[in-house]
Every structure is written in structure tokens, then in C-alpha cells.
A and B are shown apart, each in its own frame.
Chain A
Amino acid sequence: MVRVQGLGKSYVEAGAEHVILADVDGEIAAGEFVALVGRSGSGKSTLLNLIAGIDRPDLGEIWVGGSRIDTLSERERTLFRRARVGFVFQFFNLIATLTVAENLQLPLELVGRTRGDADGIVAGLLEEIGLADRGAAFPDRLSGGEQQRVAIARALVHDPDLIIADEPTGNLDLETGEQVLGMLGRMVRERGRTMLMATHSREVAARADRRWRIVEGRLQDEQG
């Protein structure tokens, strides 16, 4: 499903080059759940952004679902992301000026689903995340955990092949974080989707099929 090969990425800051990723190789099979771990600042978000087609590598190749995406244009990568990737971030997930239901409809509208279609899917998902009665509310009326549940639903609503989550619980208290992660894991597995998630939580990492650890710009694959 995902294959990266010889990936390199560095930033130039104040004239000095900082190598964040150096020669990263790795592969994720369809339906697999891989946890991405590493110290803060080790380059987890950077790698996720590369795989999601948000950013471009300096070196190497990125393949997702049989297409090579690092050579695509900015616009093509955006359209790829729109159709194939679901995203959950730590912050800034929901669009403040859209209601909860509209936030879920947005990805469907972007891929061109009809509204009648979309309404049904959204209603079903809201039911599934236990927020059936909050569809008309604006996100700032929801608690942090509720907001993150909506973000998860939104990442899945258009049925993407790959779900990318960047510390989705970093902003939540432990218990709520556990609930949210439980829901994310269950929903991804039920749908048989592939997920790559950056996390600091040992427990979450333990629940994954595999762990990728970034150490000094390289990936260490940890099985089990």
C-alpha cells in the first residue's frame, strides 16, 4: 500500500542545513496499522507530510496504492490527497465556520458525491461516533474529545485507502485520548483500511501491527 525508498529531507535554516530524514526505507501492506514513534522533533510529522503528498522529498521515491506521488505536481498531489487520504491532526482539525455535519460533508463534496448520498453517509457516521444529535452544532461548542471524534469521522467519511494521523490525542487528557484512539483503531480495522499514526503513547504503539521508529533520520522497523 505504501512504499518509501531512499527518502531524504532537510531544511535550511539560518544558512545551515538540518537533515531531518536521511535515506528512509519502509513499506506498509494494505490493511496494516503502523505506529510512527520517535522523540519530539525527530521528523515524524515530516515523514507523514511526505507520504500524504503535502510535502515533497529531496531524495527518494514515495509510492501509495501503486502510484508514485513524489513526482506529481502540486495540484495532482492535492487531488490525490482529496481522494485517497484521510487526515487526523493534533490541532486545527475542524473548520470552525462549518457545522459538525458540514465538516463531514466537505470531503464528500470535494470528491463529487451527490448531496443525497452524502447526507446518508454523514448521518450514519455521526451515529457511529455517538454524536448523532450534534450535527448542527459548530465545532467550538464541542469538547476536545468530541471534536477529535468528528475529525476521525471526517478522515474516514470519503472512504480513503490510507489514514494518516499525527498525534491525534496529543491534545487530550489520557482517558479521553484512549477512548478516541480506541474508536479510530476500531473504525479503521472494520473498514480494512491502512493507517500510519505518529504517537507518543506506548500503549497505542503496542496495539499497532508494527512500529516505525525514527532515530537520527533513519527508520528502525520494530515488529510485533
Chain B
Amino acid sequence: MARLLRRTGIRYLRRHPWQFVLAVGGVALGVAVAVSVALATASATRAFVLTNEALTGTATHQIVAGSEGLPDELYRQLRVEVGVRAAAPVVEGFVALAANPARSVRLLGIDPLAEGSIRNQFGADPATRDFPLGELLSESGAVLAAAGDERFALGQSVPVLVDGRQVQLHVVGAVRGAEDSGLGDVLLADIATAQEVLGVTGRLSRIDLRLDGVDEDDLVRRVQGILPATARLVAAQARADTTVQMTRAFELNLQAMSLLAMLCGLFLIYNTMTFSVVQRREQFGALRALGVTRAEILRLVLAEATLIGAVGTVLGVAGGIGLGNGLVRLVTRTINDLYFVVTVRELALPPLTIVTGVVLGMGGTLLAALIPAAEATRVSARLALTRSVLEERALRTSPRLAAVGVGGVAAGFALARWSGGGLAGAFAGLLLIVLGAALMAPVAVRLVAVLAAPLGRLAGAPGLMAARAMTAGLSRTAVAVAALAIAVAVIVGVGVMVTSFRMTLVNWLGHTLQADLYVSPVSPRGQAATLPLDPAQLAAVRAAPGVQRTRSIRAVSLETEGGATQLLVVEHDEPDRQAYRLRGDDPDIAWQSFADGAVLVSEPYAERRGVAAGDVVTLPTPSGARVFAVAGVFYSYASDRGAVMMTRGVYDLWWDDPGISGLSVYLDSPESAQAVAEFTRNALRPALVSVISNRELREQSLRVFDRTFLITGVLRTLVTMVAFAGVLGAILALQLERAREHGMLRATGFTPAQLWQTVLWQSSLIGIAAAILALPLGWLLAWVMIHVINKRSFGWTLQMTVPAEVLWQALLVAVGAALIAGIYPAARIARTPPAIVLRED
């Protein structure tokens, strides 16, 4: 491009710094949010993969069997009878630190004599070994910990809790470079030590195998031949992938929200570029007369957009890395709460994420600038269309735009609901709905202008001017309204969704948690726990004064075709009908067949595996795979992975496991809660149990919920910030563009106060127009999020609740944001002496 042409562009940006800064800020915030979310989720995934690689070593396959585990004997059979050379037994579990029971670390029990072939660094070979083998094998409670971890200094004795027992561990060696290789939160022990600590004597969590080479298929067949019924041979990589997959819906939801921030940023760019083109129509006309071609004008405008995009993208990527450091903690906590244990030491910076951020920032900016740039090339040398002609065109096209918008919303809604579209289709539908609604902004502005017509009588000349300016500057006002409406709709939509979710959860907890006290072993969260007690202790609790009845629950995990399945075993044939609500209209029949031996599946399980009442599920039992009829589907919001529920009677028929995981206690009267809790704690000694009240358990659950949605709140705030910048930019543009008219008004006797009023009235009208658009849009977004996206992501049915305060808050935010955005331009206009305004063309 010609040097002087380029110079006109740069000087234009320099003369309108606020415009430049807002546009750059919009891109930067949008990119930062998108990049930070991507980095945070990628970091969590990477940390998991790294730990998993370290734990898996060179194993290609694993033999797994759910929480019940495998018999020791199987390992000997594998080596001796099948002749697998590369195999290593593993006992794995979590222990909580007695000093801080909320923190748990992984205990990995290995056999150093077998590790040479799987995890070389922990093998017994003195050439590769870097730890005291003798002490690890012989000392009771001996573990190796990450070098440099102060909690586990060499020689230290560390008390830990597991399954209601306290055990002493002794740190006899350090693992160098553990942090970097993903072993930061892992304690290594000899397999016998781990069995003792975790209370699983004679059992293995899994056996890692390397089945490669020419005879792989044959080996796999022979291994499968000796597996017990509950065990499965799985490919190590596939198993890791399944685990990562669990968090995909959660991460996808975060990413979709981050893209909303980007979308708001693009509106800002669109607005800035449109304004800059409108402002320079005469200049483009003169350039065209001088023989500057359309292509050159197009390049000029796009080059300006590129500059804005580049500066915004660089700042955005840098900001995204900063923001990602904060977000990664929130993301990790949620993954730990809901899915699996992972520790993220540092933010991963995958080049692809950075590149995506750059593409998003630059591509988005150029895309948003395309329409204004094309508009610039249409400026002909024949004297440029005047502003009023332009606005006339905007007025004329507004009904057509709105019609296209209605079509967009309808198409988006249909796309979102179309079950073939999956989650991606739902998000694409959401995007279409948002864009469609944006196209209705001009009509919303005209509607408000009509409604505001009496303002002239009520608020005098400033009111009249404000109402007129709405349509007189339609092309500008509409963009401001669209940007604000989208932001407010996001606030409404996400607000309604989170409130509905929370209300659903509160209701569910209300009817599910019927007992007065809940007893469980002190143990790391997320592990199938077992209360270590004998029948006499249990009987003592049952007979305790004040106790009406108790009910036990057993939770174990099974290895099934589709990954791990949680099995809930309830004590009575017919658990409280209140406690579990069933889907469908005839629960009586379902309960009856449940009592007769069928199982119930949770809603997420039914959604994920396409199972309904009347179908069957196959579960591995110690005597082989068994088919169970599905009596019904129960609502459960405890986990999005799904669970199968059966009666204790059925469980005892097929499984040889008398253990229980927890006890719910019903009292004669709530006053005795404290006394019974105390009694229970004593009666169950030496087991360490936590006895918490119904209310505490509810509060705990809601705390986890609120923690999960903290990140949603953060993202919502960021989206709002971008949109606010958009409104500020649009209102500034609008007012500064009318500077000449304002100068004229001042010259004809408008006081600065009246100008203030004019601008603030107009800002309020913009806010109202935005709210009119945002409320139905927000409701629609919430509907799609609740009934489509949540359902497809997590399998939950949520009851939609639209709290009244969300609605008036939205109105307040819309008008408030517009008013605040109006203050600076109003002050600026009122301060400017009329002469200067008149001179500026």
C-alpha cells in the first residue's frame, strides 16, 4: 500500500485514541478470556496425562477390576502360567493427611522386583535405582516421596487417614524430578506396605502389562483366559483417554462461554470500524477522486483492523496467560470435586492454544471489519452520501434485518434442539440465536423511540432531542443496543441457568437427604470407602437411645464395558420413596420390580448409555457377568458419570462383600443429634468416622456446587466487561459524531446541563432498548442451556426457575451500564465550548 495512504490510517487512529484503545481492549479481553480458559483446561488435562504416564510407565495394557480389586494370585498365574514377562502388580489408593484431611495424596504400591520392565526407575536394578531398596521393602510404612516436598521430608514420620484408620508412614527416600514427571503428589511404597496401609491385604488394584511384540494377540487371548469375572484387560492408552473424556463436557461449556466474550469483543470491533468509516466518508471520497482504487481503500481499512487486531491479540494472549494462572486453580478444583484427582503445578502453554488465540483475535477482528471495509469501498468519489441518507437506508432495512434476525433465532433454536447436532450443534444454535437477536436491535431501537415520543413533553427539549437521536443515528444506536443486549442476555441466561440448577439441587438434596445423621469413615474423598466395623458395633449404634432406625449404603465401583460404573447398594428393598424420585409416571410399578430384584439407573447413566426402564444392564459379578433388568431411572445430581442402584438382597446374592460405606441414622427427635453423634463416634472406635448432620451435608454439597460455578461467575463478569467497553465505545462514537449538532445546540442556547440531560436520556433509552431485547433473549439462552446443553453435557434434568430479581437486575444492569457509559461523553460534550465543536468537521 502506498506509504501516504498508510499514514492517513495511522494518523486517524492516533487522532481517535479512545476509539483505538476501546477496540484494542475489546479484542484483548475477548482473546484473553478464550486463551485463559483454553490454557487452564489444557493444563489440567496435561497434568493428568503426565501423572498418568508416570504411573503407567511403559505398560500397554492393564488388568483392572473396580474397587474390589484382583487377587494376589492372579499375578503369579500371569507370570508362571501365561508366561508374561513384562508385568507389574500395583496397589493404588488415596490417603488423607492427618494434619490436613482435605488434602489427599496418591499412594502407589509397587513391587520393585517387577518394575524393571514397566517403571524402570523404580526397578530393583542397582544401576538404575536411586532409592534405598532394603528400607523400602523391610520398614513398616516406608514410602518414597517427591524430593523437595516439605510435607514429606526425608526421615519424617507422617500420619495419614484412610477408611477411618490412622496409619504412620515413614519417608525413607526421595524421588528426584518427581514434580516435573507428574509424580508430585504421589507416595511410592512397596506393594505389601500399600496393601497394609490401604487395608486391602491380598488384593491388587491392577496389574500393568506390556503386551507387545509378535505374539501380542496370542498373549492377550491367553491373559483373558485366566481373568476372574470382575476383571477386564484394557489398553492403557484407551483407559487414560476415557478418563480425560469425562471432563470434556465441562471444558466445552467453559470454552463456549469464553467464546461469548470474544463475540462481544467482535461487536466492539465492528462498531469501531463502522464508525471510523462513516466518519471518513468524505476523505474516502476525495481519495477515490484522486484515483485511489476500491481495493486500496479496502486494504487501508483492513490494515487498520489488522493493527487493532494485532495489538489486541498480543495483549490478549499475554493477558490470557496471566488470567489462565488464576483460572487453572478454579478448573482444577472443579475437576477434583467432580471427576478425578489431579494436581497442576504450572500453566501449560501448548503452542496450538496460543496459535488458536492469535487466529481467533486476528481472524475475528478482520471478519468484524469486513462489512465496514466493504462499506468504505462503496463510498464513491461522487460526493459521499450524507449521513441522513445513510440513516434513511438503515431505517429502511431495519424491518428486513429484523425478519432475518427472527429467522436466525428460529433456525438457531431448531438447530440447538436437533438431537443429531450433539453438543457442538447446541452451541452453534446458541450462537445463531445470539446473532439473530442482534439483528433485531434496530427494530428495538425504533420501538423505544416510538415509546419515548412523549419524552419531549415530560423532559423538555433534552428529552425530545434524545428520543429523536435514537432513530436519527440508528446505525450507531443499534450497534450499542446489540452489544449491550447480548451482554445482559448472557447475564440473564447464565443467572437463570445457575439459579435453576441450584434450586434443582436444593430440592433434590431436600428429598434425598432424609436421615438426621450421616456416618462415614474419615477417608479421602472420591474413593470407594469401607467402614471398618464388626456387626456388634453396628448393632450398638442401631440400639442406641434416640435412634429410630439406621440404613446402610454400600458404594463400589465396577469395571464395565463403558468404563467405571458406580454401584449403589441400599439396605431396604424399597428405599424411601421420598428419597429417590423416579422418571416417568408410574413409580409404583418401578419400585415393585426394584424390590423384586431389578436395578435402578441414575439419569446421567441412562442418558450416557441410552438405557431406559425395561432395558437391561450387564454387570460383572464375581461369578460372571449378570444381566439385570432396569426398573426405572432415578434423578441424581451427585455425579455426571451415572450410577446403578440395587438392593442389598440382590447384592449379597451375587457379591461376597459384607462391607458398608456409610450409615444414615434416623432419630426419634432431632434434639438428640449431638448425643447420638457422640455415641456413634465412640461406639465405632477405633475406626475414625465423621458424623455430620443433615444440614451440614446439604451445606457441603452446596459449597461444592457454588465452587463449581465460581468460574462461571468469573467468565460472566469478563463477558460483561467486554460488553461494557462495547457500549462505552458505541455511546462515545454516537455522541462525538453528533458533536457538531451539539455545538449548534449550545450556540442556540442549550445550557451544558441540558446537553448532559440529552446524552443521559439517550443512554437510558439505549439501556431500555437493550433490556427489551435482552430479557427474551436471556430467557431463550437459559432454556437452551438448561434443556439442551446441560442435558447433553451431563445428562441432568433441571427445573427451570426464573427468579423475578434476575429480570429487574438485568434491567438495572442494562440501563446502569448505558448511563455510566454516557457519563464521560456527556461530560466531554458539556465541557467543550461550542466554537470548537462547530469547527471540527
Q: Give me the interface of A with B, judged by CB distance under 8 Å.
A: 45, 49, 52, 54-55, 74-75, 78-83, 85, 87, 89, 91-98, 102, 105-107, 109-110, 140, 154
Tell which of A75, A78, A94 has the most Cβ of chain B within 10 Å: A78
13 additional A-B residue pairs with CB within 8 Å, beyond A45-B382, A95-B8, A102-B4: A54-B289, A80-B291, A89-B289, A92-B282, A92-B283, A92-B384, A95-B283, A96-B841, A98-B7, A98-B8, A105-B4, A106-B2, A110-B292
Task: Provide the bound-state CA to CA distance between A110 and B384, in Å.
Answer: 22
Q: Is the CB of A49 within 8 A of B381?
A: yes
Which listed residue, A74, A102, A106, A140, touches B290 by the CB 8 Å rule? A106
Q: Say whether B4 contacts A79, CB under 8 Å.
A: no
With a cutoff of 8 Å between Cβ atoms, the chain B residues found around residue A74 in the complex are 294
Determine the chain A residues whose CB is within 8 A of the CB of B291 once the complex forms: 78-83, 85, 107, 110
Q: What is the CB-to-nearest-CB distance from A143 to chain B, in angstroms, rounded to a whole number?
A: 13
B12 at the interface (CB under 8 A from A): yes
The 5 closest A-B pairs by CB, nearest first: A82-B291, A97-B11, A92-B282, A54-B381, A81-B291
Contact assessment for B289 and A97 in the assembled complex, using a CB-CB cutoff below 8 Å = no
How does the 8 Å CB contact mask read for B284-325 relative to A, with 1 for contact and 0 for none?
011111111111000000000000000000000000000000
List, sorted by A's number, 12 A–B pairs whose CB atoms are closer than 8 Å: A52-B289, A78-B292, A80-B291, A81-B290, A93-B286, A94-B286, A95-B8, A95-B286, A97-B8, A97-B283, A107-B290, A110-B290
**A45 and B2 contact, CB distance less than 8 A:** no
List chain B residues, Cβ under 8 A from A91: 282
Category for how many chain B residues contact A: 20 to 34
A115–B288 Cα distance when bound, in Å, is 22
Q: CA of A114 to CA of B8 in the docked complex: distance in angstroms?
A: 19
Chain A residues positioned under 8 Å from B384 (CB to CB): 92
Is B639 at the interface (CB under 8 A from chain A)? no
Given A97-B283, A102-B4; A78-B294 close (CB under 8 Å): yes
Nearest chain-B residue to A151 (Cβ)?
B286
Closest residue of chain B to A106, judged by CB?
B4
Question: Smallest Cβ distance from A87 to chain B, in angstroms?
Answer: 5
Contact A97:B12 (CB < 8 A) given known A55-B382, A79-B293, A82-B290:
yes
User: With A and B bound together, what is the CA distance between A45 and B380 in angstroms?
Assistant: 14
User: Of residues 517 to 575 in B, which have CB atoms within 8 Å of A's CB atoms?
Assistant: none
CB of B466 to closest CB in A, whole Å: 30
Which residues in window 806-841 of B have CB below 8 A to A? 839, 841
Q: Which B residue sits closest to A81, measured CB to CB?
A: B291
Whether B457 sits at the interface, judged by CB under 8 Å, is no
Would you call the interface of chain A mostly helix, strand, loop, or mixed? helix
Output the least CB separation between A160 and chain B (Å).
10
Closest to B290 in A: A107
For the complex, give the distance between the alpha carbons of A45 and B383 in Å.
Answer: 9
| Max count, chain A CB within 10 A of own CB: residue among B3, B15, B290, B380 | B290
Residue pair B383, A109 in contact (C-beta under 8 Å): no
Distance in angstroms from A46 CB to nearest chain B CB is 8
A80 CA to B291 CA, complexed, in Å: 8
Nearest CB in chain B: distance from A167 CB, A: 11
With A98-B8, A109-B3, A110-B2 already in contact, the answer to whether A87 and B283 are too (CB < 8 A) is no
The A-contacting residues of B in range 263-292, CB under 8 angstroms, are 282-283, 285-292
Docked-complex contact A49 and B382, CB < 8 angstroms: yes
- Residues on the B chain within 8 Å of A87, using CB: 289-290
Rounded to whole angstroms, the CA-CA distance of A79 and B290 in the bound complex is 9
Q: How far is the CB of A18 from chain B (nearest CB, A)?
A: 15
The listed residue (A78, A106, A140) touching B293 by CB distance below 8 A is A78
Tell me whether B4 and A89 are in contact (CB under 8 A).
no
B369-394 to A contact mask, C-beta < 8 Å, 1/0: 00000000000111110000000000
| Minimum distance in angstroms from B711 CB to a CB of chain A | 45
Which residues of chain A have C-beta atoms less than 8 A from B5's C-beta? Answer: 106
Please, which residue of chain A has its CB at the minimum distance from the CB of B13?
Answer: A97
Complex: how many Å from CA A105 to CA B2?
A: 11
User: Nearest Cβ in chain B — how far from A171, in angstroms?
Assistant: 12
A80 to B288, CA, bound (A): 12
**Residue of chain B at shortest CB distance from A154:** B290
Q: How far apart sit A23 and B285, CA to CA, in the bound complex (Å)?
A: 28
Query: Within the assembled complex, what's the spacing in Å between the Cα atoms of A219 and B661?
Result: 103
Name the CB-closest residue of B to A75: B293
Query: Is A97 within 8 A of B290, CB to CB?
Result: no
Which residue of B is nearest A54, CB measured? B381
Q: How far is the CB of A80 from chain B (nearest CB, A)?
A: 8
Counting chain B CB atoms within 10 Å of each CB, the highest count among A45, A79, A98 belongs to A98
Question: Which residues of chain A have C-beta atoms less than 8 A from B841's C-beta?
Answer: 96
Q: Are B381 and A109 in contact, with the CB atoms below 8 A?
A: no
